[in-house]
Structure 1
Amino acid sequence: MTTSTARVLALLEILQGGGLRTVPDLAARLGVDERTVRRYVGHLLELGVPVDSVRGRYGGYRLAPGYRMPPLMLTDEEALAVVLGLLAGRRAGLVTTSMAAGESATAKLLRVLPAVLRRRLDALLDTADFTARSRTTTAPETEVLLELAEAALHRRPVAIAYTDRKGRASDRTVLPYGLVAHAGRWYLTGANPADGEVRTFRLDRITGLRVESGSFDVPADFEPAATVLDSLASTPWTHDVAVRIRGGVPHIRAHLPPGIATLSAPADAADDGWVQVRIRAERLEWIPAVLAAVDRPFVVERPAALRDLVRALARRLDAYAAADDVPN
């Protein structure tokens, strides 16, 4: 969907909210000039949407009285797929701008479904629960995500204003190879046109964006998701943690997924059955609890501060288990 098409649909959504909307107000909400608003109204009229033009000092546009969108004709399976997709996106923290956007989209979808199907989906939303915890993250601006998607699709360079994790601001030019959603965040992976070095950027840290002229080719063997995971796992954090765990890789991965830890066979062949785990972290306090959850023999190689935290957790757990007084 092009940006102009999306804005025409956004204009229709605003007008369906009811009331008279002035041209300056519509221009501000859509992020365009007043002339463009009038052109978008013309597109709606061509599509058969009855938009009334009210002249005068307090004039503007409104939908003709009695106009409503027709019921959205989806099968039960199609409607279920759409609603669950919106719900999953909200819980994963991937809905852009705010969590309210996903809730609003779900409500609008339910309003235009046939009454019987709407009641059944309402029942599902009211009774369903989830074992995975809902993520709350800083979502990127919708326009940034969509502009980058178009640039990546058409292979156009982009100039971005970026603030890194240490708060340092910079201006960069990037060849956008792909967008990746991971652990509740959106990432851009692409190359520096000057030296070809591949970098990864968090979209919520992009504060400005401009699509440049020109084009580029993406390497045939490039894998955006794998690149992002490798980048996250090798980020130079404050602590470089090395732990050996005796257990199967699938079991360890269930607690330490890619992007958090890298797993490899130990250098010493005598350590058969052990897995080398590397974690880069800003804080160590969360790691002892994860190691306890893995519930396999482990050896902390570094840093020494992590051993102290593991011992402190063991003492607390032992004290909790030995307590005589249990509250009712």
Structure 2
Amino acid sequence: MRHDKAAMVIDLARRMAASAEGLTLDDISREQEVGRRTAERLRDAVIMLFPQTEEVSDPPNKRWRIRGGLSAFEQAPTTEELVELTKAAQGLRATGEPGRASALEGLERKLKSAMRSTTLNRLAPDLEALVRAETIAVQAGPRPSADEAVLTEIRQAILAGRPLGFIYSRPGAEARRRSVAPCGVMFGRANYLVAADRESGRIQTFRLDRMSGVRGEDGMASPPADFDLQAFASQSFGIYQDEIEDVVLEVSPDGAAEARAWRWHPTQTVEDRPDGGVVVRFRASGMRELAWHLFTWGEQVTIVHPARLRAVMAGELEAARRALERTSVQKKQ
């Protein structure tokens, strides 16, 4: 068996050991990106190398899993995997999220403590060199807040299907006590609780740093049966959710190469123009955040649609102009 096939067999064994319910042949085909016949051969190779593999009946399918995990030999992480874990923890700590950083650092210590000393000694020099050679560039923006106690309350309420109560404070508005059905958390430049209002059922977002007195409440409160957090997050260009609109942007030839490489939105399409530019299309809400982003493109991007995005962009420009005028007047006085 060639080395690449051997690596695929080990990877499949790890996936089987990591899955409580097991993998079907369709799962194997999809995750390994192979045809069904190749998936069958990979499954047979795993069964031959790992006799503890179990076949689970799940009509109309069959599943295969490895109970009890794999040995330290098959599970030893690579240098690249440990470096990425270290960088992820450093990135969270650098952006002001010590609670989440500590969780990853704890996982790193557990992995290293489970490794054989000879393997750890072999990886240590390369690991140290790569950690020193790579860093996280922290971008300007709101400082996210993910207080460990708040996250614990949210996660416990989600797992128990219970309501979540908290006091929510917004600038210029009176603080209110809220009771919601928690759906999940979106982490980003600012961290948000996604929850359904218990009376109207409307999905709303709440910034974690504006929440206080967070606690689980008595009763039952689950998200709508058809709610999908990933789909909800993908609707918006950023975090803010408003009306979903068709967005069409024309990018000049000077910015075309960067636009082709840019991930604008999960629904995006990029079309070439005869002049060397491109047309970017996607469906999203969050026109204000999109307008903020478009400022970074200068004259390279023209807003074709929607008109509301042009209006939001014009409003932001006018607000910036007024701020500059106030500064000029203050300097003259």
User: TM-score, normalising length from structure 2?
Assistant: 0.49
User: TM-score, normalising length from structure 1?
Assistant: 0.50
